[in-house]
Amino acid sequence: MLSVKPTNARRYLLDDPCSLYIQSMADPRRLQGDGWGIGYYRNGTPVIIKDHRPVYRDYKGFSSAIQKVRSNIIIAHIRRASNPRGLKKEALISVENSQPFTYDRYIFAHNGTIMIPDELANTLGVWKTKIRGLNDSEVYFWFLMKEMSEGLNLAEALMEFRETMRNLWVRVRYAHPDKDQPYHMLNIVFSDGEALYAYCEYDETAKPARSLCFRDKPIYQMSYKLLDDELVIASEKTNREENWRAIKNGEMLTGRIENGRVTVETMSLIS
């Protein structure tokens, strides 16, 4: 969420019919029970509250965390752990593996799976030492941080990521006969403390799955809602009443506060 006035985003995280909290348990076959987190800014500095427990078993803790937040930018995440390395489940569940991730002024959350995280980590150079957990999304994050530290903007870093993954896959796919692609969804929300970004990319040929709550859209397709004073970006809309729009496949959305109102620009990163 990006808002002109600091807020706690309680409506979208807890109260709406399809709030993030409700999404965590809306489909018993797809419980989002592997940790949660909220990132926001205090005086321009990222603050992260994270927990490894299922959010649907920790209403008190989640609601308490929400009440502590007052910010113009808030990024929240609930996790259903991916496991491309085939590790034991307990190894994947920890505060270090929960999202969002942060570095410097940046906050990042990802929905998807990086299928070859170890090969990607080996492209990071000294940035590989910054990896703290076993979440494949963290490797994606540090790749973007590396590229942006070298002067690329977010759009350029995302395109470099896709190119790197394509090249890696050509070289290593023989070692992964159980996989048919290098990644599954690159959907992210991201902030530098001033703007809020979202990028949506998924395989349109993949087996179709419906959204968790209302089941009226593909689960891979992100949504956003824009008013003069706020922008809300979500993996799926949190209510039926408002005008939620789809973020197209391959599209990056950028929200900013300009002259006391929220503005949005979109650009396609896939030619």
Residues of the chain predicted below pLDDT 50: none
List, for residues 246-263, the tens digit of each pLDDT value: 999 999 999 999 999 999
Q: In this predicted structure, what is the pLDDT of residue 234?
A: 98
Q: In this predicted structure, what is the pLDDT of residue 205?
A: 85
| Domain residue extents for the chain | 2-268
Q: What is the arrangement of strands in the sheet containing 261-268, beginning at the earlier edge strand?
A: 101-103, 106-114, 183-191, 196-200, 251-258, 261-268
Judge whether 66 and 58 are in contact, CB under 8 Å: no
Tokens of 42: 């205090």
Q: In this predicted structure, what is the pLDDT of residue 138?
A: 98
In sign, the C-alpha dihedral spanning 165, 170, 175, 177 is positive
pTM, rounded to two decimals: 0.97
Nearest of 58, 49, 143 to residue 99 by alpha carbon: 49
Instruction: Write down the architecture of domain 2-268 according to CATH.
Output: 4-Layer Sandwich (3.60)
Q: In this predicted structure, what is the pLDDT of residue 161?
A: 98
List, for residues 75-126, the tens digit of each pLDDT value: 999 999 999 999 999 999 999 999 999 999 999 999 999 999 999 999 999 9
Tokens of 185: 């969804």
Write the DSSP assignment of 108-142 as a string of letters: EEEEEEES-HHHHHTTSGGGGGG--SS-HHHHHHH
Nearest of 32, 86, 29, 21 to residue 59 by alpha carbon: 21
Separation of alpha carbons 224 and 165, rounded Å: 28
